[in-house]
Amino acid sequence: MVNKVTLLGRLGKDPQVKNFSNDNAIAEFPLATTETYKDREGKWIEITDWHNVKLPFKWMAERAEKILKKGSLVYIEGKIKTRSYDDKDGNKRYITEIVAETFKPLDKRENTGGEGGGGGNYGSSNDSVPAQNNSNSGSSDFSDDLPF
């Protein structure tokens, strides 16, 4: 059985980092993915879905807090999880989240060199943040797999 999610989208707000007493932390943020297509009359239709993303490790949360902001373009790989809780009235509620195993910022960055504007580069394979180091998992450079 497989539980694998791949998303490419933009953050709906800055990552919210929650620190715990056992020296652990998580980051959470909403991620928007958009699908665009033409309907039967030739009109462009745009559908946006929102996903609750959770980065489950302290070092992932800290890195996300430093480099991701509202509107950032990010590639996420992870798994889908549904959990339940009781609200203040005692009703059982469910929430579905994407628990990230890796994320990669894809925004164009400004050159940090002294002169001139322009240029910049997109996230390199060094910017990918995997949840674990697994040398058998293949290449972590997703740039060849992305449609732009």
The string of pLDDT tens digits covering residues 96-131 is: 999 999 999 998 865 443 333 333 333 334 455 555
Q: Identify the residue with better confidence: 31 or 143.
A: 31
Give yes or no for a contact between 33 and 9, defined as CB atoms under 8 angstroms apart: yes
Cα separation, 66 vs 30, in Å, equals 17
Q: In the structure, how many helices (H) and strands (E) does the chain have?
A: 1, 7
* pLDDT in the model for residue 134: 39
**Please, what is the average pLDDT of the chain?**
81
Cα separation, 14 vs 65, in Å, equals 8
Give yes or no for a contact between 6 and 33, defined as CB atoms under 8 angstroms apart: no
What percent of the chain lies above the pLDDT cut of 90? Answer: 70
- Token pair listed for 92: 């059982």
Cα separation, 62 vs 120, in Å, equals 24
The DSSP secondary-structure symbol of 123 reads: -
The DSSP secondary-structure symbol of 112 reads: -
Query: Residues 6 or more apart from 38 whose CB is under 8 A from it?
Result: 44, 45
Q: Identify the residue with better confidence: 13 or 141.
A: 13
Cα separation, 27 vs 64, in Å, equals 7
Q: Identify the residue with better confidence: 15 or 143.
A: 15
Span 44-60, average pLDDT: 96
Domain ranges of the chain: 5-130
The 3-state DSSP class for residue 128 equals: coil
Matching CATH number, 5-130, of 1.10.10.60, 2.40.50.140, 1.10.150.120, 3.30.420.40? 2.40.50.140
The C-alpha angle with vertex 140 and arms to 136 and 95, in degrees rounded to 5, equals 95
Span 49-67, average pLDDT: 96
* pLDDT in the model for residue 117: 32
pLDDT at 45 over 90: yes
CA atoms within 13 A on the CB side of 56: 14
